[in-house]
């Protein structure tokens, strides 16, 4: 059903083999949504999970059928492909904003209220930031922390759009700017591909401070291989010349 509300939010959570956290993730988000003062719905893309994730999602859909949409890929296509599927579904349903969140609750749903606050602003992309005043990182290994700090410092200089936490996938985007776009990346570098695309569209960016915590009951699907860093860097370099 198409929504005509000018202030409406689709929350998008991709999942791949997240049986340990899927139920808690949905329950926690739904509890926060009870107090959100706008039209909002949770879209979960099950990206070809072969554990019990799909079964859990079907059960949760019975509980939250009015506010929960489940979309499943028959096989794993990757983080980027899952986002593309969710974006398309949100656009077809007429939502005006999309908020990207991870399933592991390292993106605390309590921050949804902070994002909603910016829906009436002139900004087009609002990023959660670990590196602005008030933001921080907790329980994350020294190696991951250093890689992130260096990577975001370089990306911030190259993109030059006024944000310090470029790699963070916890973000809200005005869906009208993503109309008919087909992203190429199926992995996590879609975050930079999207950032470059939005910059070229003349989008306005801002950040909100938040605290990132480490995963507790599941394993990250992010890879620290050189080719992954290159896939990020190429978009940052292109951002410098855009």
Minimum mean pLDDT among 28-32, 52-56, 84-88, 237-241: which range? Answer: 237-241
pLDDT bin (cut points 50, 70, 90) of residue 2 is: very low
**Domain 8-240 classification at class level:** alpha beta
Residue with tokens 């794993």: 76
Per-residue pLDDT of 143-180, as tens digits, reads: 889 999 999 999 999 999 999 999 999 999 999 999 98
Query: CA 103 → CA 17, 45, 150, 198, 216, distances in Å?
Result: 10, 10, 25, 24, 12
**What per-residue confidence (pLDDT) applies to 4?**
47
* Average pLDDT, integer, range 59-78: 96
Q: Is residue 114 scored above 60 in pLDDT?
A: yes
Neighbouring residues of 88: CB distance < 8 A, sequence distance ≥ 6: none
> What share of the chain has pLDDT > 70, as a percent?
93
**What are residue 155's phi and psi, to 5 degrees?**
-65, -40
> What share of the chain has pLDDT > 90, as a percent?
84
pTM of the shown model: 0.92
Domain ranges of the chain: 8-240
């Amino acid at each position: 059903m198409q929504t005509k509300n000018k202030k409406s939010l689709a929350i998008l959570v991709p999942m791949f083999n997240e049986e340990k956290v899927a139920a808690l993730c949905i329950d926690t988000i739904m509890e926060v949504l009870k107090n959100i003062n706008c039209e909002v719905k949770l879209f979960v893309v099950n990206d070809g999970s072969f554990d019990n994730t799909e079964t859990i999602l079907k059960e949760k859909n019975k509980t939250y059928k009015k506010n929960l949409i489940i979309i499943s890929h028959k096989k794993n296509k990757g983080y980027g492909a899952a986002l593309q599927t969710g974006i398309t579904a949100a656009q077809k349903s007429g939502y005006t904003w999309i908020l990207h969140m991870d399933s592991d609750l390292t993106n605390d749903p309590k921050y949804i209220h902070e994002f909603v606050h910016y829906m009436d602003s002139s900004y087009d992309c609002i990023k959660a930031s670990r590196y602005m005043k008030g933001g921080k990182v907790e329980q994350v290994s020294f190696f991951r922390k250093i890689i992130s700090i260096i990577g975001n410092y370089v990306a911030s200089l190259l993109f030059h759009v006024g944000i310090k936490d470029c790699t963070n996938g916890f973000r809200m985007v005005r869906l009208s700017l993503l109309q008919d776009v087909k992203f190429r990346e199926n992995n996590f570098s879609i975050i930079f591909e999207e950032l470059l695309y939005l910059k070229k569209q003349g989008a306005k960016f801002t950040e909100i401070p938040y605290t990132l915590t480490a995963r507790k009951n599941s394993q990250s699907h992010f890879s620290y291989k050189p080719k992954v860093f290159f896939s990020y860097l190429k978009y940052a370099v292109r951002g410098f010349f855009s």
